């Protein structure tokens, strides 16, 4: 098979897997899919492919193409309107004056999401048989919206897919891909563990259960567990159809993981994809409307031609990353902190959560407000750091001209919120942290019309119960329609934290309060 045939096989396998997986995205496995549900009549758009098409089009417009994190970040700023998960956080950080790699590492709950792993194929196709170069390209891309294992997963996959142009033995491919990934990373661990499970002769459902038990968490997009599912499907199945169905039926971020295994198989053998999977989707290239301002190739065939030409123009040129300074203290959020409790109040003033009933006023404070600062929109606090049963946080916000907004307060604990002194919203703590404003857990967000100017929020949060040592929250203000984060919504000019203001809560060896301290803590 020619280099061009393998690239075409990559995109066809990617499209097949992504189309199969879209229906089941976010569901826990094991599932039992055997074909598309519903059966499509044309290509189904998917961000997994959209963003790679965008990158190729942007690079193609350069007189001398170079894969550079700042060029790719500009592509996000100018052409992407996806609000999802790490995408939204990366674009928010960029809009707030932060440059890669800190757009991915700072204040980002989704550092380990699938968002960059699903963009790895382009870099492999631009560096076939050159895994180090493919990995370098992938790193430039992934650092925009990821960190830690969220970068190492696409680096692993780009190396794997690059090697698949010249090698077919699974063990040699996996070992060669792992050679460029830190041995102490969770991605290295999950790949090795998944291979061990398959080698032991387990049924795929047993292998899946072991990976979930060892690497799973509340984020269905977590790249560690989903990469494990890719390895399980690949090594357990006997042909294209069985392999993509096993990966899909492991559940979680199915459109991403199944697209990844489909692309890998398409590179290894473009003829392995049965016609019954190809016929329903055709070869037209259809992008989501959230990709704007480009003229993409109309078909996968022409996209393949573009990639072949772009690889020749790149000529193996390596990225030339430039150092970027970043001071996280400059991006803290000014707040006031106080403590209270309702333990001695009547039932009219509290409910079973210990907070005021819905619609009530702000509870009486047990001590005055004290100025402080949050490290960002994401906070983790130890139960031991609670000075009383209820934490009170006061902060300002500005919707920056947006009229209809969504306020998300995704937290493990019970909470109440007041807007300019009036009750706005409240809920019980969630069983599942998933702080994506477009699909946060029920009860963890409210839509309302924002008045112009600066306003004040007061948030009451209960202490975690005795059986849980940590509480956690992410607060976001986003556009009501697009669900894109509003830039500097909680960082107000004239109300910056004092230089000597303490960051709340103060760091401790047992927990991390900022993604910069520990990228794998969740």
| Encoded tokens for 406 | 């969504």
Q: Looking at residue 283, what DSSP letter applies? A: S
378 membership: H or E segment, kind and range? strand 378-382
Tell me how crowded residue 298 is: count the other CB atoms within 10 A of its CB.
Answer: 12
Backbone angles phi, psi at 272, to 5 degrees: -80, -10
Query: Read out DSSP for 200-255?
Result: TT--HHHHHHHHHHHH--S-TT-HHHHHHHHHHHHHH-SSHHHHHHHHHHTBSSHH
4 membership: H or E segment, kind and range? helix 3-22
Residues 162 and 179: beta-carbon distance below 8 Å: no
Q: Looking at residue 106, what DSSP letter applies? A: S
Ramachandran class of 359: left when φ > 0, alpha when ψ lies in -120 to 50, beta otherwise: left
Task: Judge whether 47 is annotated as a binding position.
Answer: yes
The three-point CA angle 292-294-295 to 5° equals: 130
Backbone angles phi, psi at 9, to 5 degrees: -60, -35
Residues 289 and 54: beta-carbon distance below 8 Å: no
**Dist. CA 435–CA 146, nearest whole Å:** 15
Task: Judge whether 68 is annotated as a binding position.
Answer: no
Residues 214 and 177: beta-carbon distance below 8 Å: no
Residues 55 and 141: beta-carbon distance below 8 Å: yes
Residues 26 and 220: beta-carbon distance below 8 Å: yes
Tell the burial category of 6 from Cβ atoms under 10 Å away from its Cβ (0-12, 13-18, 19+): buried
Tell the burial category of 278 from Cβ atoms under 10 Å away from its Cβ (0-12, 13-18, 19+): middle
Residues 198 and 207: beta-carbon distance below 8 Å: yes
User: Which ranges constitute the DSSP H helices of 83-222?
Assistant: 85-95, 102-105, 120-126, 131-142, 149-163, 170-178, 186-199, 204-215
Please give the span between the terminal C-alpha atoms of the chain, in angstroms, as a whole number. Answer: 43
| Encoded tokens for 248 | 């899909």
Residues 82 and 47: beta-carbon distance below 8 Å: yes
Tell the burial category of 75 from Cβ atoms under 10 Å away from its Cβ (0-12, 13-18, 19+): buried
The three-point CA angle 359-413-330 to 5° equals: 100
Backbone angles phi, psi at 400, to 5 degrees: 55, 45
Task: Judge whether 253 is annotated as a binding position.
Answer: yes
Task: Judge whether 256 is annotated as a binding position.
Answer: yes
Task: Judge whether 309 is annotated as a binding position.
Answer: no
Binding residues for Mg(2+): 47-48, 253, 255-256
Binding residues: 47-48, 253, 255-256
């Amino acid at each position: 098979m020619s280099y061009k045939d393998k690239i075409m096989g990559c995109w066809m396998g990617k499209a097949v897997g992504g189309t199969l997986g879209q229906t089941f995205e976010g569901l826990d496995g094991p599932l039992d899919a055997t074909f598309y549900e519903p059966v499509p009549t044309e290509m189904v758009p998917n961000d997994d492919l959209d963003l790679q098409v965008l990158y190729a089009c942007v690079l193609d417009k350069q007189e001398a193409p170079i894969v550079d994190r700042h060029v790719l970040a500009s592509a996000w700023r100018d052409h992407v309107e996806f609000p999802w998960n790490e995408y939204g956080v990366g674009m928010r950080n960029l809009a707030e004056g932060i440059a890669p790699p800190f757009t991915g590492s700072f204040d980002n709950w989704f550092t380990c999401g699938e968002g960059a792993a699903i963009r790895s194929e382009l870099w492999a196709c631009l560096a076939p048989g050159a895994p180090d170069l493919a990995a370098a390209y992938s790193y430039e891309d992934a650092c925009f919206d990821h960190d830690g294992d969220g970068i190492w997963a696409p680096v692993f996959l780009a190396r794997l897919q690059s090697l698949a142009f010249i090698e077919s033995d699974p063990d040699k491919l996996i070992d060669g891909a792992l050679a460029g990934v830190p041995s102490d990373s969770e991605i290295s661990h999950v790949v090795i563990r998944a291979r061990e499970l398959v080698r032991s002769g387990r049924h795929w459902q047993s292998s899946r259960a072991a990976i979930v038990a060892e690497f799973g968490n509340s984020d269905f997009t977590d790249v560690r567990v989903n990469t494990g599912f890719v390895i399980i499907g690949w090594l357990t199945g006997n042909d294209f159809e069985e392999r993509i169905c096993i990966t899909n039926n492991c559940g979680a971020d199915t459109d991403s993981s199944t697209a990844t295994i489909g692309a890998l198989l398409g590179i290894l053998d473009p003829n392995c994809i049965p016609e019954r999977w190809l016929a329903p989707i055709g070869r037209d290239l259809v992008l989501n409307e959230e990709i704007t301002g480009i003229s993409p190739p109309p078909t996968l065939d022409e996209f393949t031609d573009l990639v072949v030409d772009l690889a020749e123009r790149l000529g193996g040129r390596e990225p030339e990353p430039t150092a970027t300074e970043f001071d996280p203290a400059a991006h803290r959020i000014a707040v006031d902190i106080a403590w209270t409790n309702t333990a001695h109040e009547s039932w009219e003033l509290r409910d079973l959560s210990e907070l005021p009933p819905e619609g009530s006023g702000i509870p009486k404070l047990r001590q005055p407000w004290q100025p402080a600062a949050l490290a960002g929109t994401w906070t983790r606090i130890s139960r031991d750091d609670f000075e009383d049963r209820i934490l009170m946080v006061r902060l300002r916000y500005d919707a920056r001209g947006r009229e209809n907004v969504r306020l998300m307060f995704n937290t493990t604990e019970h909470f109440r919120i007041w807007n300019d002194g009036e009750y706005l919203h409240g809920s019980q703590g969630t069983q599942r942290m998933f702080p994506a404003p477009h699909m946060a857990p029920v009860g963890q967000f409210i839509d309302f019309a924002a008045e112009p100017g600066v306003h004040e929020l007061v948030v009451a949060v209960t202490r975690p119960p005795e059986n849980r040592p940590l509480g956690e929250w992410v607060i976001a203000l986003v556009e009501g329609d697009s669900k894109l984060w509003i830039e500097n919504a909680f960082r107000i000019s004239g109300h910056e934290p004092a230089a000597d203001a303490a960051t709340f809560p103060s760091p401790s060896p047992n927990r991390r309060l900022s993604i910069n301290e520990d990228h794998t803590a969740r």
